[in-house]
Amino acid sequence: MSDFVDRFTNTVAPVIAFDNNVEIVKAQGARLTDRSGKTYLDFGAGISVTNCGHNHPQIVEAVHRQVDRLWHGGGTFRFDAYVSAAEKLVSVAPAPIDMFFFMSSGAEAVEAAVKLARHTTGRQGVVVFRGGFHGRTMGAVSYTTSTVKYRTGYHPLLPSVFVTPFPHPFRQGLTEEEATSRALDEFQQMLRHVVAPEDIACFLIEPVQGEGGYYPAPLRFLRELREMADRYGILLIADEIQTGFGRTGEWWAVDHYGVEPDILTLGKAIANGLPLSAVGASRDLFGKWPPGSHGSTYGGNAVACAAAVQVVDVISGLVPQVPALGEHAMSQLRKINDSHPTVGDVRGLGLMIAIELTDDEGQPDSGALEFVRKHVLEAGLIFHPCGPAHNIVRFIPPLVVTVAELDEAVGMIDDALTAWEASH
């Protein structure tokens, strides 16, 4: 092992896991450079954080300007970057969201959103969808069911959290319609047997499940949830921490569905890598939450807010080209799906694409995933896997990726699959 990895092993708690041992020293756009000068395509994008690409000049400049003027307010005084970032988000937010406040991490935003829902409805129940990921702090992990690893050893988790199925057609061997009907039927059973609608404060859902395996919610599923929420006075929280900021080819994944969320949680790409998250809701809903009943010291850091202001402008320029880039990537990956028996499924929205690897029996193949990951790393491609069985390639380049870079990455995955299949 290199000295560099030794230093990690000696001093960094092993609970913080890294996918590889590469030491990156600089980054630009979709490219990373390691200490030896070798370059990699970054198709992990910090798990959908660096949507504008690394070191975007417009964002870097705004950060430099802010760093020289003011870093921190922490609720003790007002400053321009905070309100400018909120105004920018309002300008692109889905209806009826017209106000925001800032936190530092995704988990913090999710917990704040649930507190808002509980406080304003006076109800305690939270319904979440199996396979969802909402964070790893004690409250957020109570809502996370993407894989049992995150929950093991931490019980008891929060009470009155009700987990109901999310449609996973490929994993279930069903059509989208069948998987949707089954999930909705289970939902109705839950309302009949487990928790009454009048005890439910909110539904918390990722419109495209991320960590759980890159499953877009079927249209009918999300629309029915919206209808049920309206019928019973339940608030719909769209967790767009991974799906937001143009990732799926629209500003927000809910834009694909014509479904309006009551509460929106944002994070990750919001400041292109500086720690920032946000909760959005309508003026009417926020008006029911007493001032001072929630907050956070670092939430809305001035430098991160200055970055967020620029991110909105940059993403506005990128969103229109994401659908074509996504379609190009999808068409190339479908060819790989047709030519490699190891690829069980390719699915996704925009530039949020899953390549699911399976064995001869159609079961998740984590061995193939690990082989492909190492093979493409050698060739110069970094990605971050997902799925409860660790067998899914997340294909999430920054939105500044070029068609040539998409083809280069697909080529490396193609070669890796050929090598895997030859060795078996």
Ligand X SMILES: Cc1ncc(COP(=O)(O)O)c(C=O)c1O
Residues making contact with ligand X (CB under 6 A): 47, 105-107, 110, 133-135, 206, 210-211, 239, 241-242, 267
3-state secondary structure of 348: strand
Smallest gap, in angstroms, from Cβ of residue 270 to ligand X? 10
Q: Which is nearer to ligand X, 269 or 376 (CB)?
A: 269
Q: Which is nearer to ligand X, 48 or 358 (CB)?
A: 48
Q: Which is nearer to ligand X, 206 or 405 (CB)?
A: 206
- Edge-first strand order for the sheet with 200-205 is 99-103, 277-281, 263-266, 235-239, 200-205, 125-129, 161-164
Smallest gap, in angstroms, from Cβ of residue 52 to ligand X? 17
Q: Which residues of 64-103 are buried (b: 16+ CB within 10 A; e: fewer)?
A: eebeeeeeeeeeeeebebbeebbebbeebbbeebebbbbb
Distances (CA, A) of 190 to 150, 163, 184, 195, 392: 24, 9, 10, 6, 30
Crossing angle (nearest 10°) for helices 176-193 and 219-232 = 20
Q: Which is nearer to ligand X, 211 or 405 (CB)?
A: 211
Q: Which is nearer to ligand X, 270 or 303 (CB)?
A: 270
Smallest gap, in angstroms, from Cβ of residue 207 to ligand X? 10
Residue 326 contacts residue 410 (beta carbons within 8 Å): no
Q: Which is nearer to ligand X, 110 or 202 (CB)?
A: 110
Smallest gap, in angstroms, from Cβ of residue 114 to ligand X? 12
The structure tokens listed for 277 are 């998250």
Residue 342 contacts residue 420 (beta carbons within 8 Å): yes
Smallest gap, in angstroms, from Cβ of residue 277 to ligand X? 6
Smallest gap, in angstroms, from Cβ of residue 160 to ligand X? 20
Q: Which residue is nearest to ligand X (CB)?
A: 106
Smallest gap, in angstroms, from Cβ of residue 148 to ligand X? 17
Distances (CA, A) of 112 to 127, 264, 286: 16, 11, 12
What is the per-residue DSSP string for 368-418?
Answer: HHHHHHHHHHHHTEE-EEETTTT-EEEE---TT--HHHHHHHHHHHHHHHH
Q: Which is nearer to ligand X, 208 or 369 (CB)?
A: 208
